[in-house]
Amino acid sequence: MSSYHAPLREMRFTMQEVAGLRDVCALPGHEDASPELVEAILEEAGRFASGVLDPLNWPGDQQGARWDQGVVRAADGFREAYAQFCEAGWHGMPAAPAFGGQGLPTLVSTAVMEMWKASNMAFSLCQMLTMGAVEALVRHGSPALQQRFLPKMVSGQWTGTMNLTEPQAGSDLSAIRTRATPEGDHYRISGTKIFITWGEHDMAENIVHLVLARLPDAPEGVKGISLFVCPKFLVNEDGTLGARNDLVCSAIEHKLGIHASPTAVMSFGDGPGAIGYLVGEPHKGLGYMFTMMNHARLNVGLEGVAVSDRAYQRARAYALDRVQGRTLTGHAAIIGHPDVRRMLMDMKCRVEAMRGLAYFTSAQMDRAHAHESEAVRAQAQALVDLLIPIVKGWCTETAQQVAADGVQVHGGMGFIEETGAAQYVRDVRITTIYEGTTGIQANDLIGRKLVRDEGATMKALWRTMSAEAQRQSDSPDASLRQLGQSLQRALDALSQATDWLLTQAARQPAATAAAAVPYLHLCGTVVAGWLMNRAAEGAVLRRQGADADAAFLQARLVVAQHYHHHMLVSAPAWRDRVVNGAASTLALADDQF
């Protein structure tokens, strides 16, 4: 089996040339994030990912988490790895210094998190869910709740979860039935939640559950949902752990993938009711949960990037080693077969395109949070809001193809579990469902992000992309000229599809909804193509330096060209699906399916 090696050169290059690392580190509050510090962080994270987390990935998948009468044991080695992870300070890295975190730019923490997810996605989910719960409490919890829970959650001594889904309420949170009954300074919570990632385990001494529930006087629908903190163990006034709360993991799910990440069925209130504490105001819980949704959806999109990169690394290693058949290019190994090279190039350019999109979006989050100009912050936030469903939806959908290609490169051996290629197909499959399915992301994109502001943010982004395409089209470098012209053709397709949606949204709501996922694919394909051009332009400029890494920079340019020739050319086809595809999608009666 191959070992994971963090692609640090590619990651640094994307951070610098595509996301604008230097500008991000110059933002107020990020001055300590020097290039030297960022370099050191990435190097150390890469060592931890390859040396500690990657060796646990495959055996953890084979063994899985184990449930026994409400007790869940993590796969062998996970407890020890988690202790090392926390002791090294990795757990709280994305959090604010006020609660023990490092307060580094989102761009930097995104790059580090890619390594955790690439080396061991199941392990990484525990920190990711905890940081989501931390963010909700930072934004909406009272000072008393923050003081009681946040320091130990940030350190990793306690972990956190988000309890939204119920058996009768999947994506429709308006159907939530979990109840919260007032009792003095707290509430009694009763109900059942499903699909709770790391909802029970033995890696930390306490688990802090954020639970959506209804008060007795709650209005119907989503406007009647409140948010509560329900710890596994109650916390005494002095911060020590008290009695076990009335909540239990009644089962863990048997899943297609991420076997080492326990997905719990949580039962609250089998006895007198689990003690919970209200977060913020009554009936505003759903809004509180959604304040952390941008980060959550970015991180799930990042899972698509990370698992794709790991699948690519394994396929590349196999192709360089496996000898079979006479190749047309004179190589001994199967990498000499042109079709194997095509698959590896497809995988490689898709990974780099996804990484560019995820990193660029995380940098915009930093600008939205920290830029001195209120106008710039607002523009950056609008761009983040537009891009997040694209990052989440397009990166995770693209990852399905990359992981499948990884199996294909292995041939029949890819279908055998021991080679490890199949695990990435299984693990990454959930990412198109996590934090809202692709259809939900696409409806959010066209409904809340496109139509609501009459396309203003998308049109502003289009003008930026078009200006850069024009500049590249006028470049003295022939390669850049070709890329700029190719990008402009794709931008024309995006503009036409956008105009169609904006004119038809009110007239044909069903037709525009039917076109939503194709439009998301079009947006992802084109925006990532724009960022691949940025990378190519950066490579061309760097080649002029005396200390240029010519082979690495040439590869960046070739990968961008491959993306244009094999992926960006699909933009007109996606436009046609948007503009012309709804009629057949909606044509059949129910009994004709």
The catalytic residue positions are 435
- Residue 167 tokens read as 């058996």
d(CA 520, CA 499): 14
Q: Cβ atoms within 10 A of the Cβ of 452, count?
A: 13
State CA 84 to chain mean position distance. 24
Unique residue bearing structure tokens 């130990």 = 152
State CA 322 to chain mean position distance. 33
| Cα separations in angstroms, 161 against 29, 59, 125, 129 | 29, 25, 10, 5
Q: What are phi and psi of 97, to 5 degrees?
A: -60, -30
Dump the DSSP string for 280-296: SSTT-HHHHHHHTHHHH
The candidate with the shortest Cα–Cα distance to 396, out of 291, 281, 496, 521, is: 521
Q: Which residues on neighbouring strands pair with residue 68, listed in sequence order? A: 71
d(CA 459, CA 523): 12
Q: Locate all alpha helices (DSSP H) within 120-233, ordered by sequence.
A: 121-140, 143-155
Between helices 106-119 and 293-321, what is the axis angle to 10°? 50
Q: State the DSSP code for 537.
A: H
d(CA 250, CA 266): 6
The candidate with the shortest Cα–Cα distance to 286, out of 394, 187, 210, is: 210
Contacts (Cβ under 8 Å, ≥6 apart) of 291? 135, 136, 139, 140
d(CA 24, CA 31): 9
- Residue 190 tokens read as 């009763």
d(CA 202, CA 78): 9
Unique residue bearing structure tokens 């009695």 = 243
Q: Locate all alpha helices (DSSP H) within 212-332, ordered by sequence.
A: 285-291, 293-321
Unique residue bearing structure tokens 């397709």 = 493
